[in-house]
A = this chain, B = another copy of it.
Amino acid sequence: MYRDLSHPLETTTAYPGDPSVEIEPHATHETDGYRVSRLRLGTHSGTHVDAPRHIEPDGRPLDSFPIGTFSFDALLVDCRGKGARDAIERDALPEPTEDDMLVFDTGWDARWGTDAYFDHPYLASDAAAWCADHDYHVAVDAPSVDPTPTENAGGDEPEGLPAHRELLGADRLIVENLTGLAGLPERFALYAFPLSVGGVDGAPVRAVAEFRDGDDATESPD
C-alpha cells in the first residue's frame, strides 16, 4: 500500500528567504475550453530533495544521480521526544543497517503552516557525519537538518549549515518537509523522484511510501 508523505504546495510554508509558491489560472474553461494553471515556486519549496550543489559550489547537481537512487530503502528513527530547537545527537541513531536512508520522525510536521514549524529539532553535525560515514541518505519531517535562522535561534546553535555540509559534502541526499510518518512500519520504500530540472541544487518531489499491508506499526496513522 501507498501513503503520500508530501505537503500540498498550495499551502507551503516557505523557508526564510525562499521564493513563495504561487498558483494561478492560465487557460480557463470559459475562455479556452480547457484549464491549465501557472506555477511559481522554488527548487526547495514544499517537500523536496537537496542536491550537493545546494551547499557546495562544485557539488553534484540532482540530475547526476541515477534515477533509481531516489527509490530509497528507508528506516524510521523515532525522534518524537525532541523539543523545539533540540539537537538530535549521535546516541539517537540506530546500529548500522543495510538500509540506504534514515528518516527522522520528529512529529514536527504537525506545526506546518505556523511559525513554530521553524523551531524544529535539528541533526547535530556529528550525527550527520555518522550518517554520511555509513552511506545513509537522510530525510526529515521538518524544514531543514540544520537549525533555521529565526528570531528564536539560540546562541549555542551551530551556524553555517554543518549537517548539510556533512551530508551533501559526502554526496548524500537530503529530503526535507516530509509529513505523515506516524504509524508507518519501521522499514518502507520511499519514492522521492524529483522534478526533472537539469543542473540544479534541488527540486520539489511528491514523496510516497510503499509498504506491505500488515506492516503497519501498532500505532494508527494520524
> Which residues in A have some Cβ–Cβ distance to B below 8 Å?
1-4, 6-11, 17-19, 23, 26-27, 29, 32-44, 46-47, 53-55, 57, 63, 66-68, 70-71, 160-161, 164, 191, 193-202, 204-206, 208, 210
A1 touches B68 (CB 8 A): yes
- Given contacts A26-B42, A206-B205, are A4 and B67 in contact (CB under 8 A)? yes
Q: Is the pair B68, A202 in contact by a Cβ cutoff of 8 Å?
A: no
Contacts of A38 in B (CB 8 A): 19, 40-43
Q: Given the known A-B contacts A19-B26, A194-B206, A206-B196, are A34 and B68 also in contact in the complex, defined by CB atoms under 8 Å? A: no
Residues of B contacting A17 with CB < 8 Å?
27, 32, 36
Residues on B with C-beta less than 8 A from A70 are 206, 208
The distance in angstroms between the C-alpha atoms of A61 and B5, with both chains bound, is: 19
Q: Can you give 5 contacting A-B residue pairs, CB < 8 Å? A: A1-B68, A3-B67, A17-B27, A33-B161, A36-B44
Q: How far is the CA of A19 from the CA of B39 in the complex (A)?
A: 9
CB-CB under 8 A from A6, the residues of chain B are: 196
| A-B pairs, 5 with minimum CB distance | A2-B68, A193-B206, A4-B67, A35-B201, A37-B43
Which residue of chain B lies nearest to A15 when distances are taken between CB atoms in the complex?
Answer: B36
Q: How far is the CA of A122 from the CA of B195 in the complex (A)?
A: 26
Evaluate contact between B43 and A8: CB separation under 8 angstroms. no
Q: How far is the CB of A197 from chain B (nearest CB, A)?
A: 5
